[in-house]
């Protein structure tokens, strides 16, 4: 884990291989794309915003827990809101900060709907296969995919407020000040949520590991 006062990013989590209790693996997760915002003069050009920030919105929604099978619909929801509120953006904050706030609200609505549907978690990773994965041999790729699935399942156990701080700090490598500006909360609240998220994450990973180890032991009998 990153020390809140240090610049060391979380590079990944270790997942057990099938039939084993432990094993090394790294989750490859590139920082979210940040694009320099052009000067704002009049209402936003929604098409230009879509072309420039689609990847940022897509990745933000995935990291906020929107399933890959649903993310295209969620992206559309975000840009519908952008179109509806395009006159409200006056350039007082970064455009990416404004967009992230919309992503957060859309993801919150998504999770509420999923809870009502009693939607079950799947093994979808946070990101699709990366270039680094392609260079790995089959055993290494399987191990990497298992680690991503472990990370995703652990994150699914967090409420969205903790998850958004944890992901932005540990994976996107943003500072507490940047996170506070993005989601409009005090810096102290960022640190308190990060602390709680780390505890929840560690407990969730330990629980998942115990379950996998039990399954591996049972399968060996």
Contacts of 49 (CB under 8 A, 6+ apart): 79, 82, 95, 99
The pLDDT of residue 145 is 67
**Is residue 85's pLDDT more than 50?**
yes
For residue 126, give the nearest of 221, 13, 4, 9 by alpha carbon. Answer: 13
CATH code of the domain in which 76 resides? 1.10.1740.10
- Is there a single domain that holds both residue 110 and residue 141? no
Task: Say if residue 43 is in the same domain as residue 81.
Answer: yes
Q: Do residues 44 and 86 lie in contact, with contact meaning Cβ atoms separated by under 8 Å?
A: yes
The parent domain of residue 152 ranges over 133-221
Tell me, yes or no, whether 127 lies in a domain: no
pTM: 0.61
Residue position matching structure tokens 């295209």: 72
Domain boundary among 98, 120, 142: 120
Distance separating alpha carbons of residues 4 and 86, to the nearest angstrom: 35
For the stretch 3-29, pLDDT in tens is 544 433 333 343 333 333 333 232 334
With a CB cutoff of 8 Å and minimum separation 6, the contacts of 14 are 22, 23, 24, 25, 147
pLDDT at 144: 63
* CATH for 176: 1.10.10.10
pLDDT per residue as tens digits for the range 118-142: 445 444 444 444 444 444 454 555 5
For residue 37, tell me if it sits in a domain. Answer: yes
pLDDT, average across residues 55-61? 93
Answer with the one of 120, 141, 157 that is the final residue of a domain. 120
For residues 96 and 37, membership in a common domain is answered with yes
> Is 217 domain-assigned?
yes
Under 8 Å between Cβ of 78 and 99: yes
**Helices (DSSP H) in the chain: which residue ranges?**
46-63, 68-84, 95-117, 131-134, 138-156, 160-166, 176-183, 187-220
Identify the band that residue 90 occupies on the pLDDT scale cut at 50, 70 and 90.
confident
Q: Quick check: 68 pLDDT over 80?
A: yes
For residue range 134-181, list pLDDT tens digits in order.
444 545 555 566 777 778 788 888 888 999 999 999 888 899 999 998
Contact 200, 157 (CB under 8 A): yes
The neighbour count for residue 167, using CB atoms within 10 Å, is: 25
Residues 6 or more apart whose Cβ sits within 8 Å of residue 152: 121, 123, 124, 125, 126
Instruction: Kindly report the average pLDDT of the chain as a whole number.
Output: 74
Q: Is the distance from CB of 172 to CB of 166 less than 8 angstroms?
A: no
pLDDT above 70 covers what percent of the chain? Answer: 64
Number of domains the chain contains: 2
Rounded CA-CA distance 102/27 in Å is 27
Say what the pLDDT of residue 131 is. Answer: 42
> How many CB atoms neighbour CB 118 within 10 A?
6
76 with 137, same domain? no
pLDDT band at 50 (very low <50, low <70, confident <90, very high): very high
């Amino acid at each position: 884990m990153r020390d809140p006062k240090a610049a060391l990013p979380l590079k990944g989590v270790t997942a057990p291989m099938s039939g084993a209790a432990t094993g090394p693996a790294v989750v490859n997760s590139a920082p979210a794309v940040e694009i320099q915002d052009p000067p704002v003069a009049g209402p936003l050009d929604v098409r230009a915003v879509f072309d420039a920030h689609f990847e940022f919105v897509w990745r933000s929604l995935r990291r906020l827990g929107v399933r890959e099978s649903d993310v295209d619909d969620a992206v559309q929801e975000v840009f519908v809101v952008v179109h509806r509120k395009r006159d409200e953006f006056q350039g007082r904050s970064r455009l990416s900060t404004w967009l992230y706030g919309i992503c957060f609200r859309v993801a919150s609505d998504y999770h509420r709907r999923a809870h009502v549907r009693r939607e079950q978690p799947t093994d979808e990773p946070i990101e699709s296969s990366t270039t680094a994965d392609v260079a790995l041999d089959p055993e290494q790729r399987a191990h990497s995919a298992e680690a991503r699935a472990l990370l995703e399942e652990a994150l699914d156990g967090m409420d969205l407020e903790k998850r958004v701080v944890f992901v932005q700090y540990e994976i996107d490598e943003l500072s507490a000040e940047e996170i506070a500006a993005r989601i409009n909360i005090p810096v102290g609240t960022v640190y308190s949520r990060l602390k709680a998220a780390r505890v929840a994450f560690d407990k969730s990973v330990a629980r998942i590991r115990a379950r996998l180890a039990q399954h591996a032991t049972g399968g060996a009998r």
